[in-house]
Amino acid sequence: MPTLDRTSARPGTFARTGTAVLGEWRRLTAVPARELRAHGARAIPLTTCAVLSMFAFWLAWRTEWGGDAARILGGVSANIPLPLALLRTPISLFVPAPDLPVWGALAQVLIVFGLAELDLGRRRTLIVAYVATLCGTLAARAMVAIGPDHLLGIDARHGDVLDTGPSAAVVGLVVCLAMVRRAPILFTGVWILMIAEVAIKPNLAGREHLAAMAGITILTAAYLSRRRSRERA
Protein backbone atom coordinates (compact mmCIF):
# COMPACT_ATOMS: atom_id res chain seq x y z
CA MET A 1 0.00 0.00 0.00
CA PRO A 2 2.76 2.55 0.78
CA THR A 3 4.28 1.73 -2.61
CA LEU A 4 1.00 2.55 -4.31
CA ASP A 5 0.81 5.83 -2.39
CA ARG A 6 4.28 6.86 -3.49
CA THR A 7 3.54 5.89 -7.08
CA SER A 8 0.28 7.77 -7.16
CA ALA A 9 1.91 10.87 -5.63
CA ARG A 10 4.47 11.12 -8.42
CA PRO A 11 2.09 12.34 -11.16
CA GLY A 12 0.78 14.93 -8.73
CA THR A 13 4.28 16.32 -8.26
CA PHE A 14 4.88 16.45 -12.00
CA ALA A 15 1.51 18.07 -12.54
CA ARG A 16 2.18 20.73 -9.92
CA THR A 17 5.59 21.44 -11.45
CA GLY A 18 4.10 21.70 -14.92
CA THR A 19 1.37 24.01 -13.67
CA ALA A 20 3.95 26.21 -11.95
CA VAL A 21 6.12 26.42 -15.07
CA LEU A 22 3.08 27.21 -17.24
CA GLY A 23 2.00 29.90 -14.78
CA GLU A 24 5.44 31.50 -14.92
CA TRP A 25 5.43 31.38 -18.71
CA ARG A 26 2.05 33.13 -18.83
CA ARG A 27 3.15 35.82 -16.39
CA LEU A 28 6.34 36.43 -18.35
CA THR A 29 4.71 36.57 -21.78
CA ALA A 30 1.22 38.02 -21.18
CA VAL A 31 2.16 41.69 -21.34
CA PRO A 32 4.76 41.31 -24.15
CA ALA A 33 2.31 39.32 -26.27
CA ARG A 34 -0.39 41.97 -25.80
CA GLU A 35 2.01 44.79 -26.71
CA LEU A 36 3.27 42.97 -29.79
CA ARG A 37 -0.27 42.31 -31.01
CA ALA A 38 -1.15 45.96 -30.52
CA HIS A 39 1.94 47.64 -31.95
CA GLY A 40 4.06 45.03 -33.74
CA ALA A 41 7.78 45.70 -34.20
CA ARG A 42 7.20 49.38 -33.31
CA ALA A 43 6.93 48.25 -29.68
CA ILE A 44 10.60 47.22 -29.47
CA PRO A 45 12.74 50.05 -30.91
CA LEU A 46 15.43 49.60 -28.23
CA THR A 47 15.74 45.89 -28.96
CA THR A 48 15.88 46.53 -32.69
CA CYS A 49 18.63 49.14 -32.26
CA ALA A 50 20.56 46.80 -29.95
CA VAL A 51 20.45 43.91 -32.43
CA LEU A 52 21.44 46.12 -35.37
CA SER A 53 24.24 47.76 -33.37
CA MET A 54 25.66 44.41 -32.34
CA PHE A 55 25.57 43.14 -35.90
CA ALA A 56 27.28 46.32 -37.12
CA PHE A 57 30.05 45.97 -34.52
CA TRP A 58 30.44 42.29 -35.43
CA LEU A 59 30.95 43.31 -39.06
CA ALA A 60 33.37 46.01 -37.92
CA TRP A 61 35.56 43.41 -36.19
CA ARG A 62 36.10 41.84 -39.62
CA THR A 63 38.12 44.84 -40.85
CA GLU A 64 41.25 46.42 -39.44
CA TRP A 65 39.85 49.92 -39.20
CA GLY A 66 36.50 48.66 -37.89
CA GLY A 67 38.20 46.61 -35.19
CA ASP A 68 40.15 49.66 -34.08
CA ALA A 69 36.95 51.72 -33.98
CA ALA A 70 35.13 49.03 -31.95
CA ARG A 71 38.03 48.89 -29.50
CA ILE A 72 38.19 52.67 -29.12
CA LEU A 73 34.42 53.07 -28.67
CA GLY A 74 33.57 50.03 -26.55
CA GLY A 75 36.75 48.15 -25.72
CA VAL A 76 36.77 47.59 -21.96
CA SER A 77 39.29 45.60 -19.93
CA ALA A 78 40.27 45.60 -16.27
CA ASN A 79 43.63 47.23 -16.89
CA ILE A 80 42.47 50.42 -18.60
CA PRO A 81 41.90 53.55 -16.44
CA LEU A 82 38.57 53.50 -14.62
CA PRO A 83 37.22 56.77 -16.12
CA LEU A 84 37.86 55.40 -19.61
CA ALA A 85 36.21 52.09 -18.70
CA LEU A 86 33.13 53.91 -17.39
CA LEU A 87 32.98 56.01 -20.55
CA ARG A 88 33.12 52.94 -22.79
CA THR A 89 30.87 50.63 -20.74
CA PRO A 90 27.52 51.74 -22.26
CA ILE A 91 28.86 51.05 -25.77
CA SER A 92 30.64 47.85 -24.73
CA LEU A 93 27.25 46.32 -24.01
CA PHE A 94 26.58 46.25 -27.76
CA VAL A 95 30.07 45.17 -28.86
CA PRO A 96 30.06 41.36 -29.25
CA ALA A 97 33.22 39.43 -28.45
CA PRO A 98 35.12 39.07 -31.74
CA ASP A 99 36.03 35.42 -31.10
CA LEU A 100 32.52 34.13 -30.30
CA PRO A 101 29.61 33.30 -32.66
CA VAL A 102 27.46 36.38 -33.00
CA TRP A 103 24.19 34.61 -33.83
CA GLY A 104 23.70 33.27 -30.32
CA ALA A 105 24.29 36.71 -28.83
CA LEU A 106 21.86 38.30 -31.30
CA ALA A 107 19.19 35.72 -30.46
CA GLN A 108 19.66 36.30 -26.72
CA VAL A 109 19.35 40.06 -27.13
CA LEU A 110 16.32 39.80 -29.40
CA ILE A 111 14.43 37.53 -26.99
CA VAL A 112 15.48 38.86 -23.58
CA PHE A 113 15.72 42.55 -24.45
CA GLY A 114 12.45 42.22 -26.36
CA LEU A 115 10.61 40.68 -23.42
CA ALA A 116 12.07 43.25 -21.04
CA GLU A 117 11.30 46.22 -23.26
CA LEU A 118 7.71 45.09 -23.75
CA ASP A 119 7.22 44.37 -20.05
CA LEU A 120 9.43 46.81 -18.14
CA GLY A 121 9.57 49.60 -20.71
CA ARG A 122 12.54 51.03 -22.61
CA ARG A 123 13.96 53.19 -19.82
CA ARG A 124 13.95 50.47 -17.17
CA THR A 125 15.30 47.90 -19.61
CA LEU A 126 18.21 50.17 -20.49
CA ILE A 127 18.90 50.94 -16.83
CA VAL A 128 18.90 47.27 -15.82
CA ALA A 129 21.09 46.31 -18.78
CA TYR A 130 23.58 49.07 -18.01
CA VAL A 131 23.72 48.38 -14.28
CA ALA A 132 24.25 44.66 -14.91
CA THR A 133 27.08 45.39 -17.35
CA LEU A 134 28.60 47.92 -14.97
CA CYS A 135 28.48 45.44 -12.08
CA GLY A 136 30.34 42.89 -14.18
CA THR A 137 32.92 45.43 -15.34
CA LEU A 138 33.62 46.73 -11.82
CA ALA A 139 33.71 43.20 -10.41
CA ALA A 140 36.36 42.23 -12.97
CA ARG A 141 38.54 45.15 -11.90
CA ALA A 142 38.10 44.24 -8.25
CA MET A 143 38.97 40.58 -8.85
CA VAL A 144 42.14 41.51 -10.73
CA ALA A 145 43.10 43.96 -7.97
CA ILE A 146 42.58 41.33 -5.27
CA GLY A 147 44.81 38.84 -7.04
CA PRO A 148 44.84 35.04 -7.32
CA ASP A 149 45.97 34.48 -3.72
CA HIS A 150 42.46 35.22 -2.46
CA LEU A 151 39.24 33.28 -3.01
CA LEU A 152 37.53 36.00 -5.02
CA GLY A 153 40.61 37.15 -6.89
CA ILE A 154 41.94 36.19 -10.32
CA ASP A 155 45.29 36.29 -12.06
CA ALA A 156 46.47 39.68 -13.31
CA ARG A 157 46.71 38.38 -16.89
CA HIS A 158 42.90 38.54 -17.04
CA GLY A 159 43.22 42.31 -16.81
CA ASP A 160 44.05 42.46 -20.51
CA VAL A 161 41.08 40.35 -21.61
CA LEU A 162 38.62 42.28 -23.77
CA ASP A 163 35.46 42.53 -21.66
CA THR A 164 32.57 43.33 -24.01
CA GLY A 165 29.21 41.93 -25.06
CA PRO A 166 25.62 41.71 -23.84
CA SER A 167 25.84 38.54 -21.73
CA ALA A 168 25.91 40.29 -18.34
CA ALA A 169 22.98 42.48 -19.40
CA VAL A 170 21.04 39.43 -20.61
CA VAL A 171 21.36 37.46 -17.36
CA GLY A 172 20.63 40.63 -15.37
CA LEU A 173 17.43 41.23 -17.32
CA VAL A 174 16.35 37.60 -16.90
CA VAL A 175 16.80 37.86 -13.13
CA CYS A 176 14.89 41.15 -13.03
CA LEU A 177 11.99 39.79 -15.10
CA ALA A 178 11.83 36.65 -12.95
CA MET A 179 11.56 38.74 -9.79
CA VAL A 180 9.08 41.29 -11.14
CA ARG A 181 6.81 38.62 -12.66
CA ARG A 182 7.12 36.17 -9.74
CA ALA A 183 8.92 33.39 -11.61
CA PRO A 184 10.95 31.61 -8.90
CA ILE A 185 11.65 28.55 -11.06
CA LEU A 186 13.30 30.71 -13.71
CA PHE A 187 15.12 32.76 -11.08
CA THR A 188 16.50 29.68 -9.32
CA GLY A 189 17.33 27.94 -12.60
CA VAL A 190 19.40 30.87 -13.91
CA TRP A 191 21.35 31.11 -10.67
CA ILE A 192 22.04 27.37 -10.64
CA LEU A 193 23.21 27.42 -14.26
CA MET A 194 25.54 30.38 -13.72
CA ILE A 195 27.01 28.93 -10.51
CA ALA A 196 27.51 25.59 -12.26
CA GLU A 197 29.26 27.36 -15.15
CA VAL A 198 31.75 28.98 -12.78
CA ALA A 199 32.27 25.72 -10.86
CA ILE A 200 32.83 23.61 -13.97
CA LYS A 201 34.75 26.13 -16.05
CA PRO A 202 36.11 28.96 -13.90
CA ASN A 203 36.64 32.06 -16.01
CA LEU A 204 36.28 35.82 -15.87
CA ALA A 205 33.02 35.93 -17.83
CA GLY A 206 31.25 33.50 -15.50
CA ARG A 207 32.25 35.45 -12.43
CA GLU A 208 31.10 38.67 -14.05
CA HIS A 209 27.72 37.09 -14.74
CA LEU A 210 27.33 36.25 -11.06
CA ALA A 211 28.29 39.79 -10.08
CA ALA A 212 25.78 41.21 -12.56
CA MET A 213 23.02 38.94 -11.28
CA ALA A 214 23.80 39.79 -7.66
CA GLY A 215 23.68 43.52 -8.38
CA ILE A 216 20.37 43.28 -10.23
CA THR A 217 18.88 41.00 -7.57
CA ILE A 218 19.63 43.60 -4.90
CA LEU A 219 18.40 46.48 -7.06
CA THR A 220 15.15 44.72 -8.03
CA ALA A 221 14.48 43.56 -4.47
CA ALA A 222 14.83 47.15 -3.26
CA TYR A 223 12.50 48.40 -6.01
CA LEU A 224 9.85 45.76 -5.27
CA SER A 225 10.05 46.43 -1.53
CA ARG A 226 9.58 50.14 -2.11
CA ARG A 227 6.66 49.51 -4.44
CA ARG A 228 4.94 47.29 -1.88
CA SER A 229 5.43 49.95 0.78
CA ARG A 230 3.81 52.59 -1.43
CA GLU A 231 0.88 50.26 -2.20
CA ARG A 232 0.27 49.64 1.52
CA ALA A 233 0.46 53.33 2.38
Burial class (CB in 10 A: 0-12, 13-18, 19+), 211: buried
pLDDT of residue 13: 75
- The Cα 169–Cα 94 span in angstroms is 10
Is residue 11 scored above 60 in pLDDT? Answer: no
Share of the chain above pLDDT 70, in %: 95
Task: Give the tens place of pLDDT for each residue, 155-171.
Answer: 878 788 888 899 999 99
Check if the beta carbon of residue 51 is closer than 8 Å to that of residue 96. no
pLDDT of residue 16: 79
Q: What pTM was estimated for this model as a whole? A: 0.90
Q: Which amino acid is at 137?
A: T
pLDDT of residue 151: 74
pLDDT of residue 10: 54
Q: Which amino acid is at 20?
A: A
Is residue 148 scored above 50 in pLDDT? Answer: yes
Quick one: pLDDT band at residue 184, thresholds 50, 70, 90? Answer: very high
Task: Give the tens place of pLDDT for each residue, 46-62.
Answer: 999 999 999 999 999 99
Choice among 51-60, 158-167, 208-217, 218-227 with the minimum mean pLDDT: 158-167
pLDDT of residue 229: 87
Instruction: Tell me the average pLDDT across 124-129.
Output: 96
